[in-house]
Amino acid sequence: MATVLLIRHAESTANKAGELAGRTPGVDLTPDGAEQARRLGLRLRQVRPVRIVHSPLDRCVQTLRKIREAMDGAPMPDGLPDDALNEVDYGGWQGKKLADLAGQPEWKTIQNTPSAVRFPGGESIAEMSARAVAAVRGHDAEVEADAGNDAVWMVIAHGDIIKAVLADALGMPLDLFQRLVVSPCSLSAIRYTSDRPFLLALGAHADRLVRLPEADKAAEGVVGGGD
C-alpha cells in the first residue's frame, strides 16, 4: 500500500498566455509558478519520498527543482524522467491559443467524449491514458516491493496525465475525466491496494494540505467515513 503523490507542474509561461503548450520545448515556470512550487515544497518537508518520477519537459523538471530547494536538504532521490508521463502529443494543436481551439469542431467532443478524440497529427486521449496509468501502476508496484507498504513516492506531470490516472483509480470512464480539476501545482494522492485504489487527496494546494491517512487506516473502506 505505497502512496503516490501526483503533482501537476506549477504555472508555466504557456498557462499564463492561455496556450496549449504540449511538448513545445523551452516552456518555463513563471515567477508565480516558481513561488507555487516553493510553497508546496515547504508543506512537504516532512515527506520522505523513496522515488520521484517526472515528465521530461522543462516545466516539470523546474517544479521538482523548486520543491527540492524548499525541502531544505531533506533526503530525496534523484528524479527519474519517464516519457510515459510526458504531456499529451497534441499534434497540430500544440502551441495554439486555447481561445482559438475552443472554436474548433473537435472541442465539444474533447469536453464530452474525450475517449473518442485523436488530436490532428498527434495521439488519442485513450492512448495517453493507457500509457500514463500503466506507468504509475508499474512504478507503484515496484516501490511497494522495494520499500514496503508505508513508502511514499512522487509523480510530477501534467494536468491531463494526472486526470487520467485519477479517473482510473476512481473507476471512472475516461469520458468523465473532464469533471476532475487538477490545477497548476496541485497535489493529489492515491494509495493502491490489492482490492482497490483509495483517493486520499484531489487537487489540493499548499495552503490546504492536510495529513494523509495512515497506511493501516486506508486498507479498507470505512463504514460511516471514519475519522
pLDDT tens-digit series, residues 100-131: 999 999 999 999 999 999 999 999 999 999 99
pTM above 0.75, yes or no: yes
Cell of residue 140, nine digits? 507503484
pLDDT digits (tens, 9 = 90+) for 8-28: 999 999 999 999 999 999 999
User: Quick one: pLDDT at residue 206?
Assistant: 77
Fold of 3-209: Rossmann fold (3.40.50)
Q: Taking residues 51-80, report their average pLDDT.
A: 94
9 is an active site residue: yes
Q: Taking 50 as the threshold, does the pLDDT of residue 225 lie above it?
A: no
Q: pLDDT exceeding 90 applies to what percent of the chain?
A: 84
Residue ranges per domain, the chain?
3-209
Report pLDDT for 111. Answer: 94
Task: Say what angle helices 125-147 and 159-170 make with each other, to 10 degrees.
Answer: 70
Q: Binding-site residues, please?
A: 8-15, 59, 87-90
Give phi and psi for 22, each to the nearest 5: 60, -130
Strands of 79-81's sheet, edge to edge? 79-81, 51-54, 152-157, 3-8, 187-192, 197-204
Using alpha carbons, list the distances in angstroms from residue 39 to 33, 63, 67, 207. 10, 11, 8, 8
* Mean local confidence (pLDDT), 181-210: 90
Active site residue 54: no
Neighbours of 29 (CB within 10 A): 27
Catalytic-role residue among 9, 54, 139, 158 = 9
Judged against a pLDDT cut of 60, whether residue 217 lies above it is answered with no
DSSP 59-120: HHHHHHHHHHHHTTT---PPEEE-GGGSPP--GGGTT-BHHHHTTSTHHHHHHH-GGG-B-T
Q: Which residues are annotated as a binding site for substrate?
A: 8-15, 59, 87-90
Confidence check: pLDDT of 220 > 80: no
The catalytic residue among 19, 35, 54, 87 is: 87
Q: Which of 45-49, 132-136, 172-176 has the lowest mean pLDDT?
A: 45-49
Give me the residue label for grid cell 496541485. 186
Query: How high is the pLDDT of residue 100?
Result: 95
